[in-house]
Amino acid sequence: MCASEKLPSWAQHDVVRHTFVAAAGLGGEARIVGGAVRNWLAGRAVGDIDMAVNLPIQLIADRLRQIQHIKVINTGLAHGTVTVVDAAQSIELTQTRSDVDTDGRHAVVAFQDDWAEDAARRDFTINALYLDAGGRLFDPLGGQADLAAQRLRFVGRATDRVQEDALRMLRYCRFSIDYNGAQYDQQAVEALRSFAPLAAGLSGERVAQEWRKILSNEHCAAAVGLFHETGLDQSALGVGIDIGAIPSNPEELRLVTAEHGWLVLFSAMIPQSALASVLQRLRLSHAAQKFCLQLVTSSTPKLFAELTTSRWRQSAFFMHRRAAAIYACAAWRLRGEFCADLYQQLQQWQPPKFPLSGADLLSHGVDNGPALGQMLKDAETLWVQSDFTLTKSALLDAVM
């Protein structure tokens, strides 16, 4: 435990202050807990704020509802959680509790007012850090020392924590990117390896959420390697991933992810024959699935070859503004050379407008029907092959 003279500025939002005051007024206490405290101590940006309170959640929720401009949403009241909102900020507020039983994903909890027991039910020591209304830090499990040493540890026995909630294995891989040094905790690695099959029972949405967060970090290579080494990929996705597809230069990944998101690298790592089933397993949107399947086809080597020639525009035209993503995915899948300048050209290229329209053909006596569509397609092919130089009149002469 250590003390601070006052709360940091990020912890002084009105909704946080009102929660502190309401808890104290009811004879209890509220504390900020988890990621916000962890990131603050690590010198990272603080995003979402979670708080815990050692009072019945309904009691403090009712008190907060009496405050003007404060709204309380019963997002998980049965599990002791509400969301407290004002015009500028929202927090998730949860009653202190301990786990009584678990099915590997959802826990049966007992509500109590013991902060040490609340800490003991959390996943990692670095997430069991609390900050009170006076700016004092409570660290019952040595999370601050682990944070300073870049040591990611499960709370208590790693095997117990992952059996309580299989999602914690995926979270371990993700958190290891930013909060673990060169050497993994061996108890954690063994727990992941031993209980990886439990990940098969996780929902596709939760698995996709973790993958998105992992692959959105340009330094994800080691975490993805851990995912593969422990067999979590086979269990969570139903297929082994190709970790060799991860670019060795993090700048490549950052560049592509900033433009097209995590799915480009994800698609590069999944065997083509399994990609459709994996996408369905993750329950991605129809648009996201279509995007991935466009990135990876049996003609990937051919497309990569075409995009790396001086006439790349002729192929890029038919890729509907996805040429850069297709190029990056192909380069990583095929272990081809990734050229940042070419990628930027593909990304920034504005395809010229096809000069011929159906109305042009109709005005020249072509009947409105399948033949008109085929003529337009043939004309477009000729125009692209000419490097977009054929004029409307020349195209009409060619197809009429």
Per-domain boundaries in the chain? 1-149, 358-399
The candidate with the shortest Cα–Cα distance to 163, out of 119, 103, 207, is 103
What is the distance between the alpha carbons of residues 281 and 279, in angstroms, rounded to a whole number?
Answer: 5
Q: Write down the number of H helices and E strands in the chain.
A: 22, 9
d(CA 294, CA 288): 10
User: What 3-state class would DSSP assign to 174?
Assistant: helix
**β-pair partners for 101:** 108
Let me know if domain 1-149 sits in CATH 2.60.120.10.
Answer: no
C-alpha 276 chain-centroid distance: 20
pTM attached to this predicted model: 0.88
Q: What is the Cα–Cα distance from 166 to 99, expressed in whole angstroms?
A: 15
Residuewise pLDDT in 10s, the chain (400 residues): 344 458 999 999 999 999 999 999 999 999 999 999 999 999 999 999 999 999 999 999 999 999 999 999 999 888 899 999 998 899 999 999 876 556 555 555 678 889 999 999 999 999 999 999 999 999 999 999 999 999 999 999 999 999 999 999 999 999 999 999 878 999 999 999 999 999 999 999 999 999 999 999 999 999 999 999 999 999 999 999 999 999 999 999 999 999 999 999 999 999 999 999 999 999 999 999 999 999 999 899 999 999 999 999 999 999 989 999 999 999 999 999 999 999 999 999 999 999 999 999 999 888 898 899 999 999 999 999 999 999 999 999 998 8
